[in-house]
Amino acid sequence: MRPFAYARASDARDAVERFGPGAMYLGGGTNLVDLMRLGVAEPDSLVDVTRLPHDAIDGDGDGDGLRIGSAVRNSDLAAHPVVRERYPILARAVLDGASGQVRNMATVGGNLLQRTRCPYFQDVSKACNKRRPASGCPAIEGDHSNLAVLGHSEQCVATHPSDMAVALAALDARVQVTGPDGDRTVPIPGLHRLPGDDPSRDTVLRPGELITGVDLPPPPAGTSKYRKVRERASFAFALVSIAAVLDVADGVVRGCRLALGGVAHAPWRAEIAEAALRGVRADAEEFARAAEAELSRARPLPRNAYKVPLARNLIVRTLEELVP
């Protein structure tokens, strides 16, 4: 690991002021420390933001919804009574991610900003356009079995690994950001970029910008479910995951939110499927039609084509289970 300077920030303004060239913010460290050990991340300095006063969850889910501080630990988010009762897909998604130890360490802000687990990104002996721009993407010809089928580019086929972000995408979360140029709000989806011709940038955040919190509007009407398909029963990243909210009245879909994980460089809000479902009969045939409309945009690679029928079936099955 390359030597680095360490500073602990007392509040968000202090953190932004301490953020110089070559700096990175340090949350729980569960991804960043590993990337530093692998030589993938080589910061000159770390600004520790785990002790910022953004460590509370406020609100009851009504009115202003819920405000989640960026330094809240993943385990505390999943165990919070309002999250469990009013935003169950968020609690479920967090509990489906990582291990008990990692959830105790990882922060909400860090979870959103974790990097892809693409094997080439994490191996400094390999080319990778995300890690070293214009060096190439060996994943396209190599092991892309758990990489993207939607929204990828010639430059990068990485996936975003977070479960939590998938639930937040379905809940229309808004990320509070502060930085050298002041405060702003960034919606999810919208925080994470598609790779395009600049895969080095995972998100729209600018240098020095810091996530201070995540705001949730009151929970959407209907029933909801988070489901994750993975290669082992626990402590594994998603092959495909889904956060679904379905509101049905008299057998007809009144509203629907669908977000997919494990399929793209960002949590994938399935807007085409959502639009196709509005006002139609809540049955398997319509669910399949909507899923297929969404996935008609998929461009699978030879070794991850399985994700397309997997995502289709996951959408259909999950929505069927949500019909009252």
Q: Which residues form the interface with another protein (CB under 8 A)?
A: 1, 3-6, 8, 26, 28-30, 33-34, 36-37, 46, 48, 50, 75, 78-79, 81, 84-85, 88, 91-92, 95-96, 98-102, 104-105, 233-235
Which DSSP state fits 105? H
HSE toward the beta carbon, residue 45, CA cutoff 13 A: 17
Cα–Cα nearest to 117, from 77, 89, 148: 148
Beta strand pairing status for 23-26 and 45-48?
Answer: parallel
Nearer to another protein, 96 or 202 (CB): 96
- Least Å distance, CB 298 to another protein, is 27
- Least Å distance, CB 184 to another protein, is 28
- Least Å distance, CB 243 to another protein, is 14
Which DSSP state fits 61? S
Q: Do residues 49 and 109 lie in contact, with contact meaning Cβ atoms separated by under 8 Å?
A: yes
Nearer to another protein, 79 or 288 (CB): 79
Nearer to another protein, 6 or 306 (CB): 6
Identity of the amino acid at 37:
R
- Least Å distance, CB 117 to another protein, is 11
Nearer to another protein, 101 or 185 (CB): 101
Question: Among the residues of the chain, which ranges form H helices?
Answer: 12-18, 32-38, 74-79, 81-86, 88-95, 100-105, 108-113, 164-170, 271-277, 284-295, 307-322
- Least Å distance, CB 190 to another protein, is 28
Nearer to another protein, 79 or 140 (CB): 79
